[in-house]
């Protein structure tokens, strides 16, 4: 299964959701790969630590290396497995991101490289049980590449009016990507993140979206300072705090997705 976590609005928890679902998958014995398409490298730093990016480049080869080599016939292509790095957690692997993605995006668009990622993922799917793709907070070349290469879309949603307005545009973009490039793509569900159950507005927004028939997942993810601690330690919650309430919510979300 190739899942992309996508929302063109920033600050909704894409990287946190991607990494923690992938870490739970790995903890259950599944060989799991995270692909980081965000030039900010948040998922990569979460899994490999800030010290791995002190030189400003991060681990190599990375996803920037992959896309860069597609722009020149003079570069000998690396095998797909060469982009994959082991993490500190057993069964959990990463194709890290790089700031170079922002520099080469226009060239990739102009040379119509939009299907390259799908080819890479289909090859790696033979080796991994699950692939999770983190995306930048924009609808651009990289997010469209991810939608073309994925089977399912997970949409993080934080409960405010701005997020709701952006949600409709996002769903239109997914529908367009499905019709034009990937007819097998399906929205797996909308994840309510940083949920405050005692606040009136979040409850009201979720109820209204359910009434509209949107695919809201049952599991809600709370806001907690433990998530920041998890980022700082470069340890997913399932490893750092397996009995914490937030970890249990992520496990429940994973179980809901896996049926």
pLDDT band at 56 (very low <50, low <70, confident <90, very high): low
Mean of pLDDT over the chain: 94
pLDDT reported for residue 229:
98
The answer to whether residue 34 is domain-embedded is yes
Inside any domain, residue 66: yes
In the chain, the number of structural domains is 1
User: Is residue 19 in a domain?
Assistant: yes
The verdict on residue 259 lying in a domain is no
| Mean pLDDT of the region 221-226 | 95
- What CATH code is carried by the domain that includes residue 143? 3.40.50.300
Higher pLDDT, 167 or 163: 167
Provide the pLDDT confidence category of residue 8 given band limits of 50, 70 and 90.
very high
Looking up tokens 């937030």 gives 246
68-87: pLDDT as tens digits: 999 986 667 899 999 999 99
Percent with pLDDT over 90 in the chain: 85
- 165: containing domain: 2-254
Task: Inform me whether the pLDDT recorded for 161 exceeds 90.
Answer: no
**pLDDT of the residue at 74:** 66
pLDDT of 10-41, one tens digit each?
A: 889 999 999 999 999 999 999 999 999 999 99
Q: Is residue 220 part of a domain?
A: yes
Looking at residue 160, its pLDDT comes to 78
Q: Is residue 130 part of a domain?
A: yes
């Amino acid at each position: 299964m190739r899942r992309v976590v996508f929302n063109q609005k920033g600050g909704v928890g894409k990287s946190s959701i991607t990494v923690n679902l992938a870490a739970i998958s790995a903890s259950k014995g599944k060989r799991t790969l995270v692909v980081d398409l965000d030039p900010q490298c948040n998922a990569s730093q979460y899994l490999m630590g800030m010290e791995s990016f002190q030189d400003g480049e991060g681990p190599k080869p990375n996803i920037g290396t992959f896309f860069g080599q597609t722009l020149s016939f003079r570069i000998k292509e690396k095998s797909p497995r060469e982009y994959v790095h082991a993490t500190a957690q057993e069964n959990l692997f990463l194709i890290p991101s790089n700031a170079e993605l922002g520099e080469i995006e226009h060239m990739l668009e102009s040379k119509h490289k939009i299907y390259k990622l799908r080819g890479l993922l289909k090859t790696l799917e033979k080796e991994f049980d699950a692939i999770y793709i983190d995306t930048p907070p924009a609808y651009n070349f990289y997010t469209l590449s991810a939608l073309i290469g994925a089977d399912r879309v997970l949409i993080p949603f934080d409960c405010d009016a701005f997020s709701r307005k952006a949600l409709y545009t996002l769903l239109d973009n997914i529908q367009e990507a499905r019709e034009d490039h990937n007819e097998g793509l399906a929205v797996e569900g909308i994840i309510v993140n940083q949920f405050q159950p005692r606040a009136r507005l979040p409850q009201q927004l979720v109820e209204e979206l359910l009434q509209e028939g949107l695919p809201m997942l049952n599991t809600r993810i709370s806001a907690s300072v433990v998530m920041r601690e998890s980022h700082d330690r470069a340890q997913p919650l399932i490893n750092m705090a397996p009995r914490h309430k937030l970890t249990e919510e992520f496990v429940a979300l994973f179980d809901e997705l896996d049926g």
